[in-house]
Chains A and B, each alone.
Chain A
Amino acid sequence: MGPFLETLLGGLMVGMLYSLVALGLVLIYKASGVFNFAQGAMVLFAALVMARFADWIPPLTGLNNKFVDNALAFAGAALVMVALAWVVQKLVLGKLVNQEGITLLMATLGINYFLEGAGQALFGNDIYKIDIGLPKEPIFLFETTFPGGVLVNQEDVAAALIAAVLVALLALFFQKTPTGRALRAVADDHQAAQSIGIPLDRIWVIVWAVAGIVALVAGVIWGSKLGVQFSLSLVALKALPVVILGGLTSIPGAIVGGLIIGVGEKLSEIYIGPMFGGGVEIWFAYVLALAFLLFRPQGLFGEKIIDRV
């Protein structure tokens, strides 16, 4: 029972990080119909900026306060992501309004290449560390219930808390602020939203900025776990089955989908993997998502697709 629970928890933790990346994808898709392939590159880019700022800022402020320095670095990186959102909207997506989905997808792939190149050209391709002071020691739970207990990383728990707080903040932002209401209106119906005077351009910048900040949080969490390196941008490939499983237009879908994929991946690796010589988790998520789609083509929580002639 112990190992099973550990795998399950590990899967949930990984799945939550997938959810964070998937969340960025869903936000942008819902608001602008753009399938943002560059989300993984944005995670990498944001994490690189954060890691470098965290190195550069302490000598500047002269304070020996880790929290302040990290907060400053985070704020700086968030600003960079907002600027990036503005540039993307002005230079790329603003010029591609009304194009087909596939053209937009390819444009974000172009952005993806650009960000991967730019991130490494500006900041070098060393592996950086982000240290935001998450506790590292593992703890044991349920030691009394069964022998050996369950090993849990405190770091993972902290990361889960951060992610939960982020999601709660996003929910508040969407439900309670005027901007959030405008965002929901745009997501619901572009033309109707525009006709009552919601500026689409500005909304799209905001959405990309929010997705950028979500990417930053995901990048910081992954980065403090594994170090900031190129492979971070591959996380996006894991987030794709998550979004189609959960539904491209559903935020709860992204979260639930992420958890399902994370758990499924880890369990399959342990229980099915040995039968085929390992490495099953590479494709398991996709096959799982595909199997779900055969029964619900719009994903678990997606809006029903209605075809009219």
Chain B
Amino acid sequence: MLYRENGQFKTSYRADQQVFPILQDRVAIALLLTLAVVAVPLLASEYLMRAVLIPFLILSLAALGLNILVGYCGQISLGTGAFMAVGAYAAYNFQVRIDGMPVIASLLLGGVFATLVGVFFGIPSLRIKGLYLAVATLAAQFFVDWAFLRIRWFTHDNPSGSVSVAGLSVFGFAIETPAQKYLFCLAFLIVFAALAKNLVRGAIGREWMAIRDMDVAAAVIGIRPVYAKLTAFAVSSFIVGVSGGLWAFVYLGSWEPAAFSIDRSFQLLFMVIIGGLGSIMGSFFGAAFIVVLPILLDNMPQWFGIPLDTAMASHLTFMIFGTLIVFFLIVEPLGLARLWSTAKEKLRLWPFPH
């Protein structure tokens, strides 16, 4: 009853092509944004921000980037961790080697380097497809892990690749408290989400989707596979690289290559698949699910007062995590985003479904 587009007539092309064509959606998004920008920093506790919200923001940014590649362009990548690492270490090098480098500039330049590496490892996608490509992207993962561990120049001569940054500031404002860090990440996320949303509904997004659905057919109707695939790799690894920089600079502070190991790649792929392939919204759902679930599972025994030693608890967490993933894939193979759109469909007819 409340959620219905009746009476909202589009009288111009502009109005017809809005990102959120329904008034209620626009109101909801505006409310959500005010909540995220104003209310959350004031109300949320430090623990909540540090342990849940900041990782959620950064990882949803990464999931967003990966979703462009896997969900929109259909190129499965298991090398996301590597592109994050490239973003992080490149940004670190700019930060350390150039005096007075603004943080935002180093993060974005980190993204640029991740783009270069991403496009390089994306070249095989022109010949290799599907699962073969997935395994081939692991080459990026292992090579990059190794490079940052062994090649001293990348890490400014720090042994075993462990580096740190301190005293971040943007335009003269220090980024120290969790609330400031939260707002900093949120700003990045909003900008990139808007950008990604507009890319995927534009011409290039439709090319990606055509390639995903069937690349030979897409080539036949005149879409250049080389251009479409490589731009998907480029955009995706740029966003992933920036998120890697944020993860290292803002969330970790000091890090080593293990922070971007293959487990990170799998984690991100889980987010994208559980959230929903080919859906910007889905990236957020997936990131929330994968970030919050382990924390819940870890704290569960304490809340119910069940005595469990930590080793056993971590094994159980593994088991439950695995089970839940399988459960979700069986119940909703199209991801949480599909549940969301089903709910919206239902809501349009509510309370008179006939």
Are A35 and B132 interface neighbours, CB within 8 A? Answer: no
Are B139 and A289 interface neighbours, CB within 8 A? Answer: yes
**Cβ < 8 Å to A, chain B residues 291-327:** 311-312, 314-326
Interface size on B, residues (CB 8 A): 50
Cα A118 to Cα B316 with chains together (Å): 7
**Cβ < 8 Å to A, chain B residues 133-186:** 134-136, 138-139, 142-143, 145-146, 149-151
In this complex, the member of A117, A118, A120, A276 whose beta carbon has the largest number of chain B beta carbons within 10 angstroms is: A117
Stretch at the interface among B212-220, B231-239, B337-345: B212-220
Cα A299 to Cα B135 with chains together (Å): 12
Q: A107-B326, A283-B139 are in contact. Are A113 and B319 (CB under 8 A)?
A: yes
Q: Chain B contacts of A305 at CB under 8 A?
A: 129
**Cβ < 8 Å to B, chain A residues 99-121:** 99-103, 105-107, 109-118, 120-121
Beyond contacts A106-B269, A294-B127, A308-B216: 8 other A-B pairs, Cβ-Cβ < 8 A, are A96-B333, A102-B76, A107-B325, A110-B326, A111-B322, A241-B139, A282-B146, A283-B139
Are B333 and A103 interface neighbours, CB within 8 A? Answer: yes
Q: From the candidates A103, A286, A297, name the one contacting B329 in the complex (CB within 8 A).
A: A103
Are A114 and B130 interface neighbours, CB within 8 A? Answer: no
In the complex, 14 of the A-B residue pairs with CB atoms within 8 angstroms, ordered by the A residue number, are A95-B330, A102-B134, A103-B329, A111-B322, A113-B322, A114-B318, A114-B323, A117-B317, A121-B316, A248-B131, A283-B139, A286-B136, A286-B142, A297-B132
**Chain B interfacial positions (CB closer than 8 Å to A):** 70, 76, 124, 127-132, 134-136, 138-139, 142-143, 145-146, 149-151, 214-217, 220, 262, 266, 269-270, 273, 277, 311-312, 314-326, 329-330, 333
> Smallest CB–CB gap between A60 and chain B, Å?
27
Q: Which residue of A lies closest to B315 (CB)?
A: A121
Query: Is A237 an interface position by the 8 A CB rule?
Result: yes
Q: A117-B318, A240-B135, A276-B150 are in contact. Are A287 and B143 (CB under 8 A)?
A: yes
Q: From the candidates A100, A114, A277, A294, name the one contacting B322 in the complex (CB within 8 A).
A: A114
Are A106 and B325 interface neighbours, CB within 8 A? Answer: yes
Interface size on A, residues (CB 8 A): 52
Q: A103-B333, A107-B329, A309-B214 are in contact. Are A279 and B128 (CB under 8 A)?
A: no
Q: Chain B contacts of A91 at CB under 8 A?
A: 326
Query: Is A80 an interface position by the 8 A CB rule?
Result: no
Q: A114-B322, A237-B262 are in contact. Are A121 and B132 (CB under 8 A)?
A: no
Cα A277 to Cα B70 with chains together (Å): 35
Cα A248 to Cα B136 with chains together (Å): 13
Query: Is A148 an interface position by the 8 A CB rule?
Result: no
Cα A96 to Cα B70 with chains together (Å): 20
